[in-house]
Amino acid sequence: MPQQASIQQRIPIKDIQDGVVILDNGNLRGILMATATNFSLKSTDEQDSMIFKYQQFLNSLDFSLQIVAVSRRLDISDYIAGLEQRKREQPNELLRIQIAEYIDFVQNLIQVSNIMDQSFFVVVPLAQVEKKEGNLLDKLGLFQKETADQQSKSLDELKTQLWQRMEYIIAGLSGVGIKAVPLNSQEITELFYHLYNMGAVENLTLPPEQQGDSGPMGQIYRR
């Protein structure tokens, strides 16, 4: 228990609301999950065009971004379990043998090749607006309800500004051929859980309509 408390103290997150991470210092973060494009398979003209568009996109930003790549060994336990179930339900003995051989082939391939799965995320920041010093009545604790409403409105305004930034990033990446989608509160919570528990395995993929030709960038796993 003391160890768990120590780990929690090292994570500077105050709250996660409406798909927005609120840090201890009041700053906000939004997280986008992005797909990938196989750059090496494109022609020289397509590569040059992508580089130019990406350069234009970066030059248009007046705030910083953080791009996070998460690599994990590919987990196929659910896939293997499904094959095992089909093998048990298969009445044909020859097909059962073929399924068993295929299961062995896939498992050996994963072990020998050490195939890694990658997920890509874009972290969009927004600094907290400096608060004005309160007047004497505020310092005396009067009109506390009005002050709380003002603070809540300020947080809502910050969230709106952050979402505007995220929409701009989504549109900019789309011009480069990369699809991105914001994570909701539950997905962000799971993401941080898995980042601090690297042995975890759980799928976290983009919806089909948000996936590019190469499919979702990867999965977050929980075991």
pTM for the whole thing? 0.64
pLDDT tens track for 23-50: 988 889 999 999 988 888 889 999 999 9
Which among 55, 32, 18 has a CA at the least distance from the CA of 165? 32
DSSP string, 93-124: HHHHHHHHHHHHHHHHHHHHHT-EEEEEEEEE
pLDDT tens track for 135-173: 544 544 444 444 554 455 588 888 999 999 999 999 999
Q: Give the residue extent of every domain in the chain.
A: 2-74+115-210, 76-114
Single-letter residue type at 115: I
Residues in the chain: 223
Report helix, strand or coil for 68. Answer: strand
The conformation of residue 29, written as its DSSP 8-state character, comes to E
174: CB partners within 8 A, 6+ apart:
180
